[in-house]
Amino acid sequence: MQKWLTSVVILALSFAAIGYAQRGRGGGPPPPPRPVAGSGVEVPGWWARVDDPKEQLTGLKFTAMAGGLHATTGPNMIFWDPQQTASGNFTLKATFTVTKPPSHPVAYGLFIGGANLEQDSQKYTYFVIREDGQFLVRKRDGANASNVGGNWAANPAVTGRTAGVQKNELSIQVAGGKVVFMANGKEVANHPATAVDTNGIVGLRIGHGMDIQIDGFGVEAQK
């Protein structure tokens, strides 16, 4: 089990205080400032946070590639655009292709319910998988992180590595007071919406030493 540390480094050259607002929603605070490229994060508007500032950032790169996003990590990271938020009933999804197998099983996936991501009071819930076919749902609340519904568990819906590549579509569906976590269109877990954080910033959680392509990242509103 990885130990999530509370110390952070925010990787953006524009370091003004930020808030966030739902896209398309009238009123409320203005959109947060758009960070400029730097520190290996080369996608305009995106931020990154490393779990442990003592880890070396050598090799970190987050870029637009082939119509999607591509992350090469040194340490454990989260990536997000503070203007990409979701609330109510929605589905967040993305397809992940591990292009260079890590030296050992490393977690990667999606997060929802993000708040205060640049502060010690950060909150979010994440759904991650590993190349050994296991998944985990975990909730971050400031300095504390806890599993939701158990420890790492295998599920046949999670595709393992084939010919050096692992490819999975992950999604999180929030509707009717329930949150369903899916891999390749099949449910692997579900929990009451009250058990996790759902409303807020959405983004990516990528573990250490990964080289991974992310396609189709986005949110769809649900009735």
pLDDT digits (tens, 9 = 90+) for 130-159: 999 999 999 999 878 899 999 999 999 999
| Predicted local distance difference test score (pLDDT) of residue 35 | 55
* DSSP state, residue 147: E
* DSSP state, residue 195: G
Establish if 208 belongs to a structural domain.
yes
Q: Give the mean pLDDT of the chain.
A: 84
| Beta bridge partners of residue 93, listed in sequence order | 171, 218
Q: Please give the residue that has the higher pLDDT: either 93 or 4.
A: 93
Establish if 1 belongs to a structural domain.
no
45 CB-near residues (< 8 Å, 6+ apart): 34, 35, 81, 83
Residue 1 has pLDDT above 60, yes or no: no
| Predicted local distance difference test score (pLDDT) of residue 168 | 97
Q: pLDDT band for position 171 (50/70/90)?
A: very high
Establish if 183 belongs to a structural domain.
yes
The pTM score is: 0.85
17 CB-near residues (< 8 Å, 6+ apart): none
Comparing CA positions, the residue from 217, 219, 215 lying closest to residue 68 is 215
| Predicted local distance difference test score (pLDDT) of residue 142 | 85
CATH number at residue 131: 2.60.120.560
Comparing CA positions, the residue from 201, 120, 189, 187 lying closest to residue 152 is 189
Residue linked to tokens 């999604």: 171
Establish if 214 belongs to a structural domain.
yes
| Predicted local distance difference test score (pLDDT) of residue 74 | 86
Q: Could you tell me what percent of the chain has a pLDDT over 70?
A: 83
Q: pLDDT band for position 37 (50/70/90)?
A: low
Establish if 2 belongs to a structural domain.
no
CA–CA gap between residue 78 and residue 206 (Å, rounded): 6
Q: Please give the residue that has the higher pLDDT: either 25 or 223.
A: 223
Establish if 83 belongs to a structural domain.
yes
Find the domain containing 15 and state its range.
9-221
CA–CA gap between residue 44 and residue 7 (Å, rounded): 25
Establish if 3 belongs to a structural domain.
no
Q: Could you tell me what percent of the chain has a pLDDT over 90?
A: 63
Rg (CA), the chain: 16
Establish if 180 belongs to a structural domain.
yes
**Greatest Cα-to-Cα distance within the chain, rounded to the nearest angstrom:** 50
Residue 31 has pLDDT above 60, yes or no: no
State how many domains the chain has. Answer: 1
